[in-house]
Amino acid sequence: MTDHSARLAIIGTGITGIATAYYLCTVHGFKDILLIDAGQPMAFTSAQSGENYRNWWPHPAMVQFTNRSIDLIEEIAVASNDRINMTRRGYALTSRASNVEDLIKQLHEGLGDTAERLLRFHNNETAAEYEPATSPDWREAPDGVDILQNKALIRKSFPSYDKEIESVIHIRRGGDISGQQMGMYMLEAIKACGGSRLTGAVENISHTSDYKLELSTKDGSMNVQAEKVLNAAGPFADTIASMLGVELPVYNTFQQKIAFEDKRNAIPREMPFSIDLDVQHIDWSDEDRNLLMEEPDYKWLTGEMPGSIHCRPDGGDNGSWVKLGWAYNESPQAATRVLPLDEQFPDIVLRGAARLNPALKDYYGQLPRNMHHYGGWYTMTKENWPLIGELGPSGAYVNAAMSGFGTMAACAAGELCAATIAGAKLPDYARYFSLARYDDRELMQTLYESNKGVL
């Protein structure tokens, strides 16, 4: 017995599944779409997003892809009267090294023919030409990349930074949005088009002429019949794919963040999303370091730690919170609904972030009680690129492996997946993000190499 039927069943109501349904409804006229999830929309992985975006990648296909996504986010910002709170102060990549040629090479590779126009170098002679991100308004922000290697200019423009910073690469087309509000805006449009939702966990999928999905719900077992099915299950995408006889080349790592009220004004509200690229040793006291050295499970915290720790103000210019994150966990894990938060993480990330913004040291051992510690699964391929397109069986599709860039890539991913499902014309970059890319050995080798060191 079939309890529900639909033209398309989308498994997963994170931002990528919702975005796909949104573009199918608003661009391709699909009406009969059923969104299925074990929980509420945007309540699992998407709820843990840093809600940041940027157009910096070391490969032109990803630059084109994320630029398109940002274009679409801007369209939603305008159409929704800025309901998504879009800001643009950029991404500031920082280092204590004066030689950042590898990063500049990556910028050239990603920007391609536009690099000469979009890269601006500021040394002693050109420092006066640099304009910090004084306004959060995305409409006023410049495009391109400013490369600062004048210490006086860096100290003037970024007064909270460690005085040893020698280089700042300011990616200007970057900022933050309210991913939750964007998801809610899309869901309202989907409902208006006739789409619907169903809460339940997919336990099995069988395929003859159509797809039959067996679900467990709070009211018992339920069956759904659909002409087509989309796997947008985030960290459970591999499980759903296996039900369709497909092995996805993905794995999960668990990454954590904290947010807290900055009552001591350690972080300037106008500071862009800032990333400390340099490896470091965490700033433990001698006593704490000795104690950690004696614990086999924590001894690793006394050694060299990877870079790319990040910090940004949260809540806009009139807000008072900050977010800190450090994706240092590289151990693959099977995704679980119960999130494996490490109670030591807040202290670890705070001490790591204090290296770039020393004023954060005032919070050592004194994080506010209302500090929010959260985390989510990064579902990724080895090359850290998404999987969007046909899944294998006829009428089955995938939109997954968004790693830590789901919010920023969701619109372009949803648009691309929707066009694939509708049989519409695809953008030039489509082939890079489908499973078919694994048949191109030369391309894959290029991707593995270009992805080294990417945030």
- Residue 4: the pLDDT is 87
Confidence category of residue 132, pLDDT binned at 50, 70, 90: confident
- Residue 277: the pLDDT is 98
Q: What is the mean pLDDT of residues 421-425?
A: 97
Distance between CA atoms of residues 193 and 196, nearest Å: 9
Question: Are 421 and 310 in the same domain?
Answer: no
Judged against a pLDDT cut of 90, whether residue 443 lies above it is answered with no
Residue 80 lies in a domain: no
Residue 35 lies in a domain: yes
Confidence category of residue 50, pLDDT binned at 50, 70, 90: confident
- Residue 455: the pLDDT is 42
Q: Which of 42-46, 211-215, 218-222 is the most confident on average?
A: 211-215
Q: What is the mean pLDDT of residues 28-54?
A: 93
Q: Return mean pLDDT, the chain.
A: 94
- Specify the number of domains making up the chain: 2
Q: What is the mean pLDDT of residues 318-324?
A: 95
Question: Are 153 and 222 in the same domain?
Answer: no
Q: What is the mean pLDDT of residues 50-60?
A: 92
**CATH number, domain containing residue 398:** 3.50.50.60
Question: Are 317 and 357 in the same domain?
Answer: yes
Residues above pLDDT 90, as percent of the chain: 88
Residue 274 lies in a domain: yes
Confidence category of residue 125, pLDDT binned at 50, 70, 90: low
Report the candidate in 215, 207, 211 with the shortest Cα–Cα distance to residue 225.
211
- Residue 1: the pLDDT is 53
Handedness of CA 92, 95, 99, 100 (dihedral sign): negative
- Residue 126: the pLDDT is 59
In tens, the pLDDT along 145-183 reads: 999 999 999 999 999 999 999 999 999 999 999 999 999
- Residue 288: the pLDDT is 92
Residue 86 lies in a domain: no
Residue 215 lies in a domain: yes
The domain of 428 spans 4-51+179-249+381-450
Token pair in block for residue 396: 């089955």
Which has the higher per-residue pLDDT, 424 or 441?
Answer: 424
Question: Are 207 and 305 in the same domain?
Answer: no
Report the candidate in 11, 391, 33, 18 with the shortest Cα–Cα distance to residue 227.
33
Pick the last residue of a domain from 341, 365, 380: 380
Distance between CA atoms of residues 364 and 356, nearest Å: 15
Q: For 193-342, where are the alpha helices, taking DSSP H only?
A: 237-243, 286-293
Question: Are 102 and 45 in the same domain?
Answer: no
Q: What is the mean pLDDT of residues 381-396?
A: 95
- Residue 330: the pLDDT is 92
Q: What contacts 246, CB < 8 A, 6 or more positions away? A: 391, 392, 393, 396
Token pair in block for residue 435: 């499973």
Query: Beta 167-171 vs 145-148: how paired, if at all?
Result: antiparallel
Residue 71 lies in a domain: no
- Residue 133: the pLDDT is 81
Residue 68 lies in a domain: no
Distance between CA atoms of residues 40 and 241, nearest Å: 21
Tokens 């900050």 belong to residue: 322
Q: Torsions phi, psi of 183, nearest 5?
A: -65, -40
Confidence category of residue 134, pLDDT binned at 50, 70, 90: confident
Question: Are 29 and 142 in the same domain?
Answer: no
Confidence category of residue 135, pLDDT binned at 50, 70, 90: confident
**CATH number, domain containing residue 324:** 3.30.9.10
Question: Are 406 and 301 in the same domain?
Answer: no
Question: Are 304 and 431 in the same domain?
Answer: no
Question: DSSP string spanning 265-305?
Answer: --S-TTPPEEEE-S-B-----HHHHHHHHT-TTTGGGGS-B
Confidence category of residue 38, pLDDT binned at 50, 70, 90: very high
Distance between CA atoms of residues 418 and 266, nearest Å: 44
Question: Are 8 and 142 in the same domain?
Answer: no
Q: What is the mean pLDDT of residues 351-371?
A: 97
Judged against a pLDDT cut of 60, whether residue 285 lies above it is answered with yes
- Residue 451: the pLDDT is 61
Distance between CA atoms of residues 75 and 192, nearest Å: 19
Confidence category of residue 225, pLDDT binned at 50, 70, 90: very high
Contact of 90 with 176, CB cutoff 8 Å = no
Judged against a pLDDT cut of 70, whether residue 127 lies above it is answered with no
Confidence category of residue 453, pLDDT binned at 50, 70, 90: very low
In tens, the pLDDT along 226-275 reads: 999 999 999 999 999 999 999 999 999 999 999 999 999 999 999 999 99
Pick the last residue of a domain from 380, 411, 427: 380
Question: Are 273 and 340 in the same domain?
Answer: yes
Report the candidate in 280, 270, 319, 279 with the shortest Cα–Cα distance to residue 92.
270
Pick the last residue of a domain from 380, 404, 437: 380
Question: Are 281 and 144 in the same domain?
Answer: yes
Question: Are 171 and 131 in the same domain?
Answer: yes
| DSSP helix/strand/coil, 194 | coil
Residue 373 lies in a domain: yes
* Maximum CA extent, the chain: 75
| DSSP helix/strand/coil, 162 | coil
